[in-house]
Structure 1
Amino acid sequence: MNTTDIIGTIGVSLILIAYFLNIFSLIKKDGNLFYILNIFGGAIACFSSYLIRFWPFVILEGTWAVISVVALLKSIKKPQD
């Protein structure tokens, strides 16, 4: 396993951890932790895909991270009930 594989594995693992925690109701799907795990996971996986020049996943993971940033910002700005 080379460095790029390790970086990609970390990124994808963060996304999968967020998904697992959400599915088993350990975190909320609209909670900040869920968004943060997806932001870092997507960004790291995007970087790994960039390093190997695999453009479809650069776009996919980059979009994943950007959408998660937008969702986090919306969550932070939302008034607490």
Structure 2
Amino acid sequence: MILPIGETLANLCGFAGMACIVIAYAYGTGNSAPNPYVQHGLNLAGSLLLTVSLLVNLNPASLVLEGFWAAIALYGLVKAARQGRRA
């Protein structure tokens, strides 16, 4: 355990993160022109919540995956901001 929070709270964070990522995927798949702030914002939130869970219930491979997931989401948010695409 790296974070000093209980396993129950960590698991709740993990499930919330998983829900964010699944919702973002469904949103992106179901819309012909998804709002990048919604899509990438949900992915980033999901990645961060899953990271909290993984810092309590350590799984190194999944932790690395969440790092890449967060980086891609941040890239998408920065790209959208640079392009000036609004909600």
TM-score band (shorter)? 0.7 to 0.9
Q: With CA pairs under 8 Å and 6+ residues apart, which has the higher RCO, 1 or 2?
A: 2
4+ residue stretches of structure 1 with deviation over 2 A?
A: none
User: 2: CA distance between counterparts of 1:8 and 1:79?
Assistant: 32
User: 2: CA distance between counterparts of 1:58 and 1:37?
Assistant: 18
User: 2: CA distance between counterparts of 1:46 and 1:72?
Assistant: 19
Question: Where do 5+ consecutive residues of structure 2 fail to align?
Answer: 1-6
TM-score (norm. length: structure 1): 0.84
2:48 — aligned with what? 43
TM-score (norm. length: structure 2): 0.79
User: 2: CA distance between counterparts of 1:79 and 1:14?
Assistant: 24
Question: Where do 5+ consecutive residues of structure 1 fail to align?
Answer: none
Deviations 1:4-30 (A, max 9, x none): 2111000010000011112221761x6
Letter in 1 for 2:41: I
2:26 — aligned with what? 20
Percent identical residues? 23
1:54 — aligned with what? 59
* 1:3 and 2:27 aligned: no
